[in-house]
Amino acid sequence: MEAKTIGKFIAVLRKANGMTQKDLAEKLNVSDKAVSRWERDESLPDLTLIPVIAELFGVTTDELLRGERSPAGEPAGAARPASSPARTEKQIARILSDGKTKLLTRSMLSVGLSLAGLLGAMVMNFGFNRAYIGFFVGCLFYVAAILCEAVFCILAQAGTDGEDFQGEALNSFRRFLLSTAKAVVGLAVVLLGATVPLIAIPYDTYQGILGVTWLAYGLLFGLLAAALWGILTIVVSRTAEKRGFYRISEAEATRRTNLWKARGKTLGVTALVMAVTLVGQLMFNGNAEAADLVQGTVFTDFESFQTYMATEPEQSDEVWDENSTVGPVESDIVRIQDDEAAAENADGTGEEDSTEEETYLEELEGPDGTALEYEWRNTDVWEVLSSGEGDSWTVRVLTEEDFAEASRIETVVSNIFSAAYVVELAAGLLWYRHELKKRKLS
């Protein structure tokens, strides 16, 4: 007499229900090779799958473990009427589907809180020049979004507790729950990273940062936050699998391992390239001065320089950009003083009081090392630099227009660095697609 085993009983039930080994494997979320080994009695199904297999074929777990129907039961080759279990499965499927819909709807609130945090940070920085306060306002909304999503996931999981919820349907729901939580919380984490420049860049609490600066550093810190969150999600997924929160098939496990290898390789190289770009940007920002970015007006003899400095320029309506990061931070004090003196000299009859005209005397080091005194009446000049000795002695004069030009150069360079980050990120994504094709994962 042929021995009665679990594997042979599974083979009989599978054939009686018109299933192939692949069909059964997909329903149990295992490989068809695993089903083949069971039916050849080379291995046994996992203990957690025994109730699932029994419910699928309409037998009891005792009958499945014994390898045959109970004496009072039906022949082993026939399937039980499935009217009642079919209705139960439909109800369970509907409950799980409603649970997914509710989780998605509630998660929109968490997403909205994260976006509101970014908007609040932008308002505080650009509207009130309070970068520090903007950072903490954003953090308040990001933390609220994460807490809300945690509560929503707990409620969704609580709705599937009970013996009726098991098998592949529950496994699929739990995987959906975890992936949704990772995406929503990941958005809050990335936006938090993009908000970090508000507290890392300004010099004090009463200062905001420029939009271009925030874009460049926000993109960088956001990518770093995304990388850290990606590593953390890997740990969370592995922990959930080990604790039996959900299962994956052998083929899916192999595919996921290859995906992680491709992502790790791409992310590592991209992060390294972007870090080098960041170092270059930080070095430029730390050493970018107007005297190094523009030539200015150069004089080789003191007489020409003295004449230039003693000549008053025509009045100009040009106003220095207060957001500029290069050049003097003081206003044009001389011009303001001249305007105030003119207003004070006018009396009610239109006659002017006789007031002694102010003179502005400065000194610089001459070609022989001695101090040369000159009159500074040219209010367009913001900085005077002398260098060299003897015949190589020169004086370089930087005007307001020179500083404005230096500011424009600095803005262009900052935009170039920002564009470099975008290009490097795009190159990383293209390389990632290439890795997926090479590993036959796309």
Helix pair angle (21-28, 167-195), 10° resolution:
50
Contact 249, 287 (CB under 8 A): no
Q: Over pLDDT 70: what percentage of the chain?
A: 83
Residue range 375-409, pLDDT digits in tens? 988 888 889 998 888 888 999 999 989 989 988 99
Which pLDDT score, from 0 to 100, does residue 48 have? 79
Name the pLDDT band for 26 (thresholds 50, 70, 90): confident
* Closest among 263, 390, 398 to 328, alpha carbons compared: 398
For the range 329-332, what are the long-range contacts, defined as Cβ-Cβ under 8 Å and sequence gap of 24 or more?
Answer: 332/379, 332/400
Indicate whether 242 pLDDT > 80: yes
Which pLDDT score, from 0 to 100, does residue 142 have? 97
Residue 339 carries which side chain, given as an amino acid letter? D
CA dist., res. 156 & res. 197, Å (int): 36
Name the pLDDT band for 442 (thresholds 50, 70, 90): low
Average pLDDT over all residues of the chain: 81
Residue range 79-90, pLDDT digits in tens? 444 434 443 577
299, containing H or E segment: strand 297-299
Which pLDDT score, from 0 to 100, does residue 34 have? 86
* Residue 51, number of CB atoms within 10 A of its CB: 15
Residue range 43-70, pLDDT digits in tens? 888 887 888 888 888 888 888 888 887 6
Q: Which of 5-14, 146-155, 164-173, 305-314 has the highest mean pLDDT?
A: 146-155
DSSP letter (8 states) at residue 79 = P
Least confident window among 82-91, 116-125, 245-254: 82-91
Which pLDDT score, from 0 to 100, does residue 76 have? 43
DSSP string, 393-424: -EEEEEEHHHHHHHHHHHHHHHHHHHHHHHHH
Contact 10, 41 (CB under 8 A): no
Least confident window among 113-117, 236-240, 250-254, 315-319: 315-319
* Closest among 176, 173, 25, 180 to 93, alpha carbons compared: 173
Which pLDDT score, from 0 to 100, does residue 119 have? 97
Indicate whether 99 pLDDT > 70: yes
Could you tell me which residue, 81 or 297, shows the higher pLDDT?
297
